[in-house]
């Protein structure tokens, strides 16, 4: 509201100009034009002192109005000009003794009420709008600044890295999550508490028509759940949370969403490497909730939304151990490390940094209505991956191949009696050739895997050891791939 003085100045000078013009025309009397006197009569009108002063005052009013328009929205500033009618009516009553009857007074009342309502709408939203002079930017740049990135689950594993990258790029970021960690980028990013399972919470998030929305909110396979509780653990967040976000995005007028799902939608490997066309047949509630989310996204696409979907392999990076913690404990204790099967099959990770970059590139690429695999390049065999880790740790552990069918049957028995050791969606495919082919993502969005599996696993182990020793771990975003 700091520009209200200029708005009122515009209104009063506009009204004053009208009064001066009226006084000038009264002094000239009724106008009549003939072909011979037309030019002379025009000059006589323009150079009448009152008319000339009125025109000059009107120019001053317009200059003030243009200044106001450079600072606030037109829909906010222009309705204030209706107050000029109020001022003119009052001046005309006192100066020219014009009639001010009940109908005119009622009209003036309505104008005043409408203007007050518009003024209230601008108490916070208009006064902070950046001006061209203040930013030194072109009009297009101001539009970019107005557009913001809304990251649901933005305090989570992938979301926090995406938020940090966008903030570093100078973007406006709003994190919507149920928790707020002590992260440095919150100095430049806003946070709003939001539980995605609560539709009202999601609807309250400030989404603008031009905003870019990301859904990083998810329940993962860790912590391990017993069979009876898996549906209620995964579905409210993974499916119904995503539905709430899609509804809120559409209602706000926005139409761009990046949605993360999982490679677990594929189930057993039918073809290797797995392309995005691989049949989807998830083996448990986690994969099923994510596959249902993709089908939901397909319906929202028909209503005009652009939704880019990412299917990552096991995401690895600073701050998350998950199932790897069990592996690291075995190595630290110098115990045998069992492998489901021979260990000759490759195992593929994906860096959290590469995931965040994929989401950013989807925005840059116009948010294609496509699904993309996410995985590292040239994944090593399980045997080499674990063997190199044991060497790095200086452990006396050794790798123990096992008959896959027997181990799977044993794990299934423990799961049946509600004593799970590993989630079925993990152990049922542990000896399969689950390799994501990422050529589509590379060709369409220009993405490239920057980190290799061996280095990422070793970095995760080093972080685990540092935390166990009570030391700070200065990770450097893992080690780039060769």
CA–CA separation, 276 and 370 (whole Å): 9
Residue 77: per-residue pLDDT: 66
pLDDT tier at 479 (50, 70, 90 boundaries)?
very low
Q: What contacts 462, CB < 8 A, 6 or more positions away?
A: 473
Average pLDDT for the chain: 85
For 355-377, write each residue's pLDDT tens digit: 999 999 999 999 999 999 999 99
Contact 237, 431 (CB under 8 A): no
* Strand 349-351, strand 256-260: pairing: unpaired
CA–CA separation, 397 and 147 (whole Å): 53
The tokens describing 219, both together, are 């329940």
pLDDT tier at 126 (50, 70, 90 boundaries)?
very low
Q: How far apart are the first and last CA of the chain?
A: 56
β partners of residue 172: 148
Whether the predicted pLDDT of 248 surpasses 90: yes
Residue 480: per-residue pLDDT: 35
Whether the predicted pLDDT of 34 surpasses 90: no
DSSP 358-383: HHHHHHHTT--S-EEEE--SSPPBHH
Residue 79: per-residue pLDDT: 72
Whether the predicted pLDDT of 19 surpasses 80: yes
Whether the predicted pLDDT of 2 surpasses 60: no
**DSSP H helical segments within 96-168, as ranges?**
102-121, 132-135, 139-146, 157-168
For 176-190, write each residue's pLDDT tens digit: 999 999 999 999 999
Residue 30: per-residue pLDDT: 78
Whether the predicted pLDDT of 171 surpasses 60: yes
Residue 141: per-residue pLDDT: 42
CA–CA separation, 286 and 282 (whole Å): 8
Cite the residue boundaries of each domain of the chain with CATH code 3.40.50.720.
147-468
Whether the predicted pLDDT of 292 surpasses 60: yes
* Number of separate helices (H) and strands (E) present in the chain: 20, 11
CA–CA separation, 286 and 420 (whole Å): 15
Q: Which of 10-14, 115-119, 319-323, 440-444 has the lowest mean pLDDT?
A: 115-119
Q: Which of 141-145, 147-151, 398-402 has the lowest mean pLDDT?
A: 141-145
DSSP designation for 41: H
Q: Which residue reads 């880790």 in tokens?
A: 389
Strand, helix or coil at 31? coil
Residue 113: per-residue pLDDT: 75
pLDDT average, residue stretch 443-471: 90
Contact 385, 453 (CB under 8 A): yes
CB atoms within 10 A of CB 303: 9
The fold of the 147-468 domain, in CATH, is: Rossmann fold (3.40.50)
Residue 87: per-residue pLDDT: 76
Whether the predicted pLDDT of 264 surpasses 70: yes
Residue 144: per-residue pLDDT: 43
DSSP 207-270: --TT-EEEE-----S-S---GGGHHHHHHIIIIIIHHHHHHHHHHTT--EEEEE--GGGS-S-S
pLDDT average, residue stretch 312-328: 83
| Residue 114 vs residue 314, higher pLDDT | 314
Contact 258, 249 (CB under 8 A): no
Q: Which of 381, 386, 382, 384 is nearest to 335 (CA)?
A: 386
Whether the predicted pLDDT of 379 surpasses 50: yes
CA–CA separation, 4 and 79 (whole Å): 13
Burial 245-255 (b: 16+ CB within 10 A, else e): bbebbbebebb
pLDDT tier at 142 (50, 70, 90 boundaries)?
very low
Residue 117: per-residue pLDDT: 67
Strand, helix or coil at 450? coil
Q: Which of 181, 178, 211, 182 is nearest to 195 (CA)?
A: 178
Contact 238, 232 (CB under 8 A): no
How far, CA to CA in Å, does 235 sit from each of 15, 81, 249, 447? 63, 54, 20, 30
How far, CA to CA in Å, does 431 sit from each of 118, 185, 308? 66, 40, 30
Residue 224: per-residue pLDDT: 87
pTM exceeding the 0.75 threshold for the entire prediction: no
Q: Which residue reads 């082919």 in tokens?
A: 437
Q: Which of 9-23, 58-72, 442-456 has the lowest mean pLDDT?
A: 58-72
pLDDT tier at 120 (50, 70, 90 boundaries)?
low
Residue 124: per-residue pLDDT: 43
Q: Where are the beta strands (DSSP E) in 6-68?
A: none
């Amino acid at each position: 509201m700091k520009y209200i003085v200029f708005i009122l100045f515009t209104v009063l000078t506009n009204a004053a100009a009208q009064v001066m013009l009226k006084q000038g025309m009264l002094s000239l009397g009724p106008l009549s034009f003939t072909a011979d006197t037309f030019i002379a009569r025009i000059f006589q009108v323009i150079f009448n002192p009152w008319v000339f002063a009125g025109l000059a005052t009107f120019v001053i009013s317009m200059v003030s109005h243009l200044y106001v328009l450079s600072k606030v929205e037109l829909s906010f500033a222009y309705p204030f000009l209706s107050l000029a009618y109020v001022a003119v009516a009052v001046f005309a009553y006192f100066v020219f003794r014009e009639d001010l009857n009940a109908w005119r007074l009622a009209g003036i009342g309505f104008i005043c009420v409408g203007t007050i309502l518009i003024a209230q709408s601008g108490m916070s939203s208009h006064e902070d709008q950046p001006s061209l002079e203040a930013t030194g930017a072109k009009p297009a740049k101001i539009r970019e600044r107005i557009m913001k990135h809304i990251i649901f689950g933005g305090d989570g594993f992938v979301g926090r890295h995406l938020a940090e990258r966008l903030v570093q790029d100078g973007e406006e970021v709003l994190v919507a999550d149920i928790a707020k960690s002590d992260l440095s980028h919150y100095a430049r990013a806003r946070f709003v508490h939001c539980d995605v399972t609560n539709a009202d919470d999601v609807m309250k998030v400030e989404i603008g028509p031009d905003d870019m929305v990301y859904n990083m909110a998810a329940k993962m396979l860790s912590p391990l759940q017993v069979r009876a509780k898996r549906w209620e653990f995964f579905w409210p967040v993974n499916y119904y949370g995503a539905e709430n976000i899609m509804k809120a995005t559409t209602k706000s007028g926005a139409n761009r969403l990046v949605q993360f799902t999982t490679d677990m939608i594929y189930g057993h490997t039918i073809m290797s490497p797995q392309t995005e066309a691989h049949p989807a047949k998830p083996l448990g509630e986690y994969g099923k909730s994510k596959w249902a989310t993709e089908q939901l996204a397909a319906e929202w696409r028909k209503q005009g939304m652009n939704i880019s979907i990412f299917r990552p392999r096991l995401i690895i990076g600073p701050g998350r151990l998950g199932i790897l913690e069990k592996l690291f404990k075995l190595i630290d204790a110098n115990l045998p490390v069992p492998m489901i099967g021979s260990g000759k099959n490759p195992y593929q990770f994906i860096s959290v940094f590469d995931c965040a970059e994929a989401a950013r590139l989807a925005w840059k690429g116009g948010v294609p209505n496509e699904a993309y695999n996410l995985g590292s390049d040239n994944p090593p065999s399980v045997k080499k991956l674990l063997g190199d880790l044991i060497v790095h740790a200086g452990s006396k552990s050794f790798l123990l191949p096992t008959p896959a069918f027997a181990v799977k049957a044993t794990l299934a028995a423990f799961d049946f009696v509600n004593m799970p050791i590993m989630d079925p969606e993990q152990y049922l495919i542990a000896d399969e050739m689950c390799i994501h082919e990422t050529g589509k993502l590379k060709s369409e969005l220009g993405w490239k895997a920057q980190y290799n599996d061996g280095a990422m696993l070793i970095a995760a182990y080093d972080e685990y050891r540092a935390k166990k020793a009570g030391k700070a771990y200065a990770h450097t975003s893992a080690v780039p791939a060769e």
